[in-house]
Structure 1
């Protein structure tokens, strides 16, 4: 990302992430995704069941 100041000088800022930060983000995203899939898969709320019905069947996830 480059920022040009009012004096015409360009300053560049970079953001680096460590491997631990990337792994933590991936793990959190995986856990959240699994929770959403299992919530939709085993929910007894009809609206939730119907919203995810076709997706579950296309990925062979049992819902009946």
Structure 2
């Protein structure tokens, strides 16, 4: 029975870890799009623009 409780705990821990990773990846993406995409610094904006084109992502 102790093995079952440990397995259940591992599954819950794994789910929490996955959710945390997804949330942090989402926040990083929002930051990158918000900061680089709307940056007033021309070099950062151009770098983001060139990257979007290199990934065949329409940006116009």
Q: CA deviation at 1:60?
A: 2.0
- TM-score normalised according to structure 2 size: 0.59
Aligned residues: 47
- Aligned CA-pair RMSD: 1.9
Is 2:36–2:48's contact at 8 Å kept on the other side of the alignment?
A: yes
The structure with the largest alpha-carbon Rg is 1
Unaligned runs of 5+ in 2: 1-9
- TM-score normalised according to structure 1 size: 0.56
Tell me the residue number matched to 1:51.
47
Judging by fraction of residues, say which structure has more helix.
Answer: 2
Unaligned runs of 5+ in 1: 1-15
Q: CA deviation at 1:34?
A: 1.6
Judging by fraction of residues, say which structure has more strand.
Answer: 1
If asked which structure has higher relative contact order (CA below 8 Å, sep 6+), I would say: 1
